[in-house]
Every structure is written in C-alpha cells, then in structure tokens.
C-alpha cells in the first residue's frame, strides 16, 4: 500500500534530542561506535533534521572512492572507521577517515584471500567496534584484530580459523563484535571435536564456540559457550530484571548467555530456522523480535519462573522474512524488507503479529529509525525519508545518491548521514536549510 510519495511543504516535525548548534557540534558528538548504532537497534535521536529535502536532493558534504565491501561505517568523535578491499585483490584494509572531509587519517592492510567462486561479494562484511582507545575488526576470513584508534597501531590479532576452527559461509565472515566491560565478544563456530590440545585456552570450561569472549587488552580467551552453528546475525546486549543478557540468533536457536562468563541463561529453539539471520531487536527489555528468510518472524516474551528465565513465543509469521537487512521499531510496529528479489517493505504490529501493510515504493532497503521517522537506502542507491503509521508508508523525499548494490546500513551522526555503495563512501547533510552543516 503506497500512501504518498511526496508530502506538502511547510509541515513541521517534533524531535527529542539535545540541540546541536553548529556543524562542529555534529561531528564532535558523533557516537555511532558499533554495528546498529548507539543501542544496536538501528535507531537514534537527532535534532534539526529537515522534514523533506530539496528537489535536487540532500546536500552532498563529500564523496570519495573507497573499495569493495559491505562493512558499515562507525563514528567516534570526528573520525569514521570502516573496512574495504581493492577489487578482488587478496588484501583488505581497515581505514580511519576524517568525518568532515572523508580524507584518510590512517589505514592498515592485511592479507585476505578470496576463495574460488566467492568473488561476487568478496567482503569484508563485519562492522568495526570502537571502545575506549581501541578499534576491533573482523575480516572476511575471520581474523580478529585490535588497533589503536589514534594511529592504527596493531596491538594484537587472533586468527579464529587457525586457533579455534571458525566456520562461515563461502561469502565470508559477517557477524560484528560487541564490547562488554573488558571483553570483546563475537560468534565463532561449533565446537571442534579435537579442541583439547593441552593449552590453557583449550582447558577453559565451556560447551562450544558459538560465542567466544576475548580480553580487550591482549586478546586472551576469557570464555567460550554453546555448540550451535553461526550465521550472519550479531550479538546484542540488554538487561532483563536487572541482569545483563547477551543474545544471539543462531541457525538452531535464539539464546542468551551471561556476558561475564558465557553461562547459558535461556534458549528458544523454533521449529524452523534457515539462511541469513537479522540481528535480534530487543523490545522494552522483556520482548525480542527475530527474523530469518526461512521461518519468518517471531516475538518472544521473557518471564521469570522458579528463578529461571522462560522465553515464550507470542506470535510467528511468514509475512516478514528478512535476509541480510535489518528490522527497525517505529512506535508499536516493526518494519523491514521481506523476501529477496523482489523484496517488499512490510509493517507488522508487534503486539499481535498482524501484517498492517506492504509497500513496493523502493527496492530492498536498509533502514535507520530517527525519532519516529525512517531513513531508507535501497539497493539501487535511492535514499528516502519517510514516516509510517498503521495505514502505510508516507515518503516525504527520495533521491538517487549512490550506485547499485547498496547493502550497507547508513550511519547518522547529528544531521550528517554517512553511507557507502559497492565502491564509494559519502556524506550528506540532512538538516534544515539555513542551519550550519
């Protein structure tokens, strides 16, 4: 259902956030330091966004060539971090860019071969993580690295394939790491049958290697947990009844562990899971939305019974089946691109699981939710600004900004939007006309 492709001018929109008085403030307050943004849910607040764009599109701040890859862009202060490779060369780069100009501050090159038959999407795919004075990255061949964020000095690296038997699809490793206290945590693989070579790391207790935690300081293994396979989904942290939970959507289950130890807290094993899996979306601290292209979508309700956390399925639906793109919450709805090619934008009621509408205005899209509005980037390179309600999608503005195969979720910092296509990276000003930016 398509309600409108352009709203009338002169309308206003209320937003909740601290006012950023200057362009410098927009860059200085940049905090999109991990996959999915501040709360890992592809949602943020921003003051001063325009309700619609000029006919010529949003103002381009800068544009430059980058390279292959679908690693999204993280921002810390006035520096951006991402990963790329030059064509199909057997190398990949971690790069730090000046947020105001796009100029390279530093970059580091590492060997990263592409297996035969996997050169259509050679990667890298995972998104860097910035915490403290360090940047953590994972390459397409599952090498975890820790850099000094100021100058790119390499502190340590762990080859997850050689050291722990990591497994991933032919397209390369895709999950993005997460920080917790002094740890960096990420999916690795199933338990290796001969994992017991007498080393101290092999002797650490734990069932398997679905999730593994490493010291941020030196890369030493802290814990390993569970024996599920891994897909493209990344872990998410949240609190339930005052206790931290780290959850991951795996091919066989959605499960949660204690982030300090890896101890299993609960798991939910649906009847069918398959393919790529979207990152779970935590709702109100006690509900979780998850989706995959096989069984579709599901909402779990967490409750406590006899001292244990019990996940209960509230609804399931095959009407929203997400592959690699991300879901966002708007009010009491969840919105996401369903299916593969062609895809449709679907809105579901989070309480009932009822599909409220479907829209074909754009191709398959990645989404960012900003104070009740959507910034949408479709795979053909068209950028759109929209609102949603229970009746449909209203597009205020849309404009082609990039080349095809835009599969990377954009990053919004203040009134500046950073995005990349298959070969280029760019920044756009999305603020009100006349404001500094």
Global pTM value: 0.89
**Per-residue confidence band for 136, with pLDDT thresholds at 50, 70 and 90:** very high
With respect to residue 173, please indicate whether it lies within any of the assigned structural domains. no
DSSP string, 166-224: ----TT------EEETTEEEEE--SPPTT--SSSHHHHS--S-SSEEEEETTT--EEEE
pLDDT single digits (tens) 70-107: 999 999 999 999 999 998 889 999 999 999 999 999 99
User: In this predicted model, which residue has the larger pLDDT, 370 or 11?
Assistant: 370
Note the pLDDT of residue 121. 83
With respect to residue 333, please indicate whether it lies within any of the assigned structural domains. yes
With respect to residue 404, please indicate whether it lies within any of the assigned structural domains. yes
Element (H, E) at 291: strand 287-292
Mean pLDDT for the stretch of residues 156-166 = 93
Q: What is the CATH number of the domain that holds 24?
A: 2.40.128.630
Tell me how many domains the chain contains: 1
With respect to residue 90, please indicate whether it lies within any of the assigned structural domains. no
pLDDT single digits (tens) 13-58: 333 333 333 333 333 334 899 999 999 999 988 889 999 999 999 9
30-55 burial: b if 16+ Cβ within 10 Å, else e:
bbbbbbbbeebbbbbebbbbbbbbee
Half-sphere exposure (Cβ direction) of 252: Cα atoms closer than 13 Å: 7
**What residues make up the domain containing 397?**
1-65+74-80+324-437
Lowest mean pLDDT among 50-54, 249-253, 390-394: 249-253
With respect to residue 99, please indicate whether it lies within any of the assigned structural domains. no
Note the pLDDT of residue 167. 83
With respect to residue 412, please indicate whether it lies within any of the assigned structural domains. yes
With respect to residue 400, please indicate whether it lies within any of the assigned structural domains. yes
Rounded to 5°, the CA angle 389-36-431 comes to 65
Chain position carrying tokens 């603020």? 431
With respect to residue 54, please indicate whether it lies within any of the assigned structural domains. yes
**Percentage of the chain modeled with pLDDT above 90:** 70
């Amino acid at each position: 259902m398509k309600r409108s492709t352009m709203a009338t001018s002169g309308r206003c929109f209320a937003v909740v956030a601290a006012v950023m008085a200057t362009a410098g403030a927009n860059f200085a307050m940049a905090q999109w330091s991990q996959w999915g943004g501040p709360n890992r849910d592809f949602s943020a607040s921003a003051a001063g966004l325009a309700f619609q764009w000029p006919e010529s599109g949003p103002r381009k701040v800068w544009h430059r060539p980058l390279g292959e890859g679908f690693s999204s862009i993280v921002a810390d202060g006035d520096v951006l971090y991402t990963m790329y490779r030059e064509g199909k060369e057997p190398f990949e780069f971690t790069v730090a860019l000046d947020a105001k100009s796009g100029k390279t501050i530093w970059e580091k090159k590492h060997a990263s071969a592409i297996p035969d038959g996997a050169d259509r999407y050679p990667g890298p795919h995972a998104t860097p993580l910035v915490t403290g004075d360090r940047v953590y990255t994972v390459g397409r061949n599952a090498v975890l690295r820790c850099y000094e964020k100021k100058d790119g000095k390499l502190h340590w690296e762990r080859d997850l394939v050689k050291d722990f038997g990591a497994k991933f699809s032919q397209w390369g490793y895709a999950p993005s790491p997460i920080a917790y206290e002094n740890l960096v945590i990420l999916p690795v693989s199933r338990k290796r049958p001969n994992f017991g070579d007498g080393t101290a790391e092999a002797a650490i207790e734990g069932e398997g290697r679905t999730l593994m935690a490493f010291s941020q300081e030196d890369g030493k293994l802290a814990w390993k947990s569970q024996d599920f396979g891994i897909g493209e989904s990344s872990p998410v942290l949240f609190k339930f009844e005052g206790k931290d939970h780290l959850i991951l959507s795996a091919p066989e289950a959605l499960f949660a562990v204690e982030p300090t130890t890896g101890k299993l807290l609960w798991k939910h094993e649906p009847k069918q899971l398959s393919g790529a899996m979207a990152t779970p979306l935590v709702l109100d601290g006690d509900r979780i939305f998850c989706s995959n292209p096989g069984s579709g979508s599901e909402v779990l309700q967490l409750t406590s019974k006899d001292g244990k956390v019990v996940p209960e399925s509230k609804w399931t639906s095959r009407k929203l089946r997400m592959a690699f793109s991300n879901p966002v919450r708007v009010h009491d709805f969840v919105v996401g691109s369903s299916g593969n090619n062609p895809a449709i934008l679907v809105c579901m009621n989070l309480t009932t699981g009822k599909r409220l509408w479907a829209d074909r205005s754009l191709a398959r899209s990645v989404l960012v939710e900003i104070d009740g509005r959507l910034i949408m980037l479709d795979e053909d390179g068209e950028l759109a600004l929209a609102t949603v309600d229970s009746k449909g999608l209203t597009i205020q503005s849309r404009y082609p900004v990039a080349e095809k195969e835009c599969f990377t979720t954009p990053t919004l910092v203040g009134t500046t939007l950073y995005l990349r296509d298959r070969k280029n990276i760019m920044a756009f000003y999305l603020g009100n006309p006349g404001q500094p930016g």
